[in-house]
A and B are shown apart, each in its own frame.
Chain A
Amino acid sequence: MNASTGRAGRFRLTNPRYGLLLNIPGLLIVLLWVVFPALLLFAVSFLRFDNVNPVSFVGFGNYQRLWNSRVFAVSVERVLVFSLGSTALTALGGLVLAMCLSNVRKGGGLLRSLMIIPWAVPAVVSGLIWKWMFSPDFGVLSDLLMKARLIAKPLSIYSDPSLAMWGVIIVDSWTRIPFMGIILLAAILSIPDQIHEAARVDGADTVKRFLYVTLPMIRGPLLIGLMITTIFSFRTIDLIIPLTAGGPGRATYVLGYYIWDQITKSLNFGLGAAAGVVLFLITSLITVVFVYLLREK
């Protein structure tokens, strides 16, 4: 391994064996920590594995049960609404903040720090503190909206199903706008000034330059941001657990919550594993679509 000075001539920087050697611990982690659990997940999804019956092989039985389950269908529909809503709001918020912060000098560092804070708060804690904000009895949000004369009496996301979905979407995008804002800000700042200058000389106004210069130039990072936001919100339950626990009724009962319930409440591991595989397949599909869009110029 050590190069003595005498051998320095033969010593090449590109030594593949050394690169591989350095990667062995990481490779072990990936094999033991990712590949093995993933295989186990698939295996369990073919088993009847609940708290009642002895464990037995049921083939696609669990998947069949999911297919016929009304609750499961609802959870898939709910997560689509949730993820779409959250991604849209995140993209809007992130883009607006990134555009503004890219045009700001003094105090920009502080504003950036403020923007990142929601990202740094544990998601489950975000759920808890928004639960307090949304409180129908002492909640500050109800009071503010009443002071602004937008509503007449305190609102409760815990009894109104459509409000509940809005509630969790707002909280989820609150935690995701920072990441979107950060990568879009970096992308906007990396656009060379000359391109904007050239467009200006050609007579493009601010709106045109946003549409035909800025947006195409940040297309890659924007797509990556959208991809990450979509697949991450697809599997979010940290903040739904404290906020609405899937309710009221099944208004915020997303796919992840279905899996969570199988693991922590119903203790039907086979069904939970099958649902976990479905979640994995859906997010993979979303990823494939985005990767395709990213490749296409």
Chain B
Amino acid sequence: MPTGSIKVNRWKTSIEGAGDGVWEWNIQSGKVIHSWQWRAMLGYEKNEIADTLCAWNSLVHPEDLEDRAANLERLVGNKSEVYVSDSRLRCKDGSYKWVLNRGVIADYTEDGMPLRVVGTFADIDQVKTVDEQLKSRERQLQEILSFSPEGVLVFSLTNQLTFYNQRLLSLFGIELEPDEILTTIDFMEKIGAKLDLSDASGLFKGFAGEEEGTLRLIKPVKIIKWEVHQLDDPVLRHILFFRDVTRETEVDRMKSEFLATAAHELRTPLSSIFGFVELLLARDFSDKDRREFLGIIHDQTSGLIRMLGELLDLARIEARIGRDFNFQQQELWPLVRRVVADFKIPGDARKVTLKLGRRKPYVSMDEDKFGQALLNVLSNAHKYSPGKGAVCIDSVTRKETSRNWIGVRVRDSGMGMTAEQLGRIFERFYRADTTGQIPGTGLGMSLVKEILQIHGGEVEIKSELGKGTEVTLWLPETQGSRHE
């Protein structure tokens, strides 16, 4: 076919002029002919590589063999009339080079099977290297951002989701297919069902370029702060950061609530003190009135002093988290007996009934602190059961797989609490009594709880309105407990 040969030759010339090479493969004979660029590209001398497919294959990087074989298979099996394969070939110096091979069937046998394939090869090593570097950079970026505590989201100029990290998905509790193409609106729909709707419109504005805002997630309940930045990039438009601020928000709320309550609790006694002193200075009162007013001033002042002390105790315990507790292994009952013996309320002649049983439990405790906790509970039992039966202390035990617990149970038959009051008992400044009849700061049980927690113990409370309250201070027992 003279005309055909001339065409092929011209084609060869033009391709080789561009720096690429050509090859021809006879499928039946297995013979392969390359133009000279082939060897030059890989650094081989003439005759160093045989003109066979086998010789070719021996140069292919083991990882690329399978792919290449599959491509050849399609060609030989007449499933495809073109052949495209990029693979790494071994150079003479042992290094590998990326080569792109493209071929097309040039002749068929009489029964229609492929006979001869012609094609080109090109050195794409540089392209591949840059490509690999880019991919590796992207992997690194993904890896780095996967450790970010913030969810990251990037949108392109065409409002398509172009990047996100794993944290974003976990933050919103959503899943995305790895290659899913999403627009801003698709993404909003994904998270929309989980949002408080009044916030969602804010986020839409965010995509329109607003700088920051807050989202409330309904399920699971979370508060998420977001901020958006414009990117100076020809393809990417926005980057958004999402941060879970649920805890900070809660802590902030508790702090300001605490401040407001503390201010209220300080202002009330100060009103009496300030007011009565001003009246006493401005007017003459009868002896009886004057005594009464001074009595109120004194009571309120002692209340303030007590509150200040308890606030400082609480702050100290919280700040030091038990580091200034002096723990000693010791028998529990001597301390309980001592606290009970020292306990008195002016004008209350009731005795505490003590039933501690025959066991002698040992615990690890700070005597002063645990004593203070017990004293608080004991004085509550008296204050909230005015004139109603004795306060009783006994012991209870509980077994868990790994350890025994000993409980000091304080019971009164006083006014008790509703479930709602019981639920708030550990709140700072919370008082079950709002009439002002029973003195107290509302800090005592907060202190008890903190002290028991640092002992590794627990506070258990049962109460029934009008019937009485039962408080158990549980401590883990240590070695040494014994029967008498």
- On whether the two chains bind one another, the answer is no
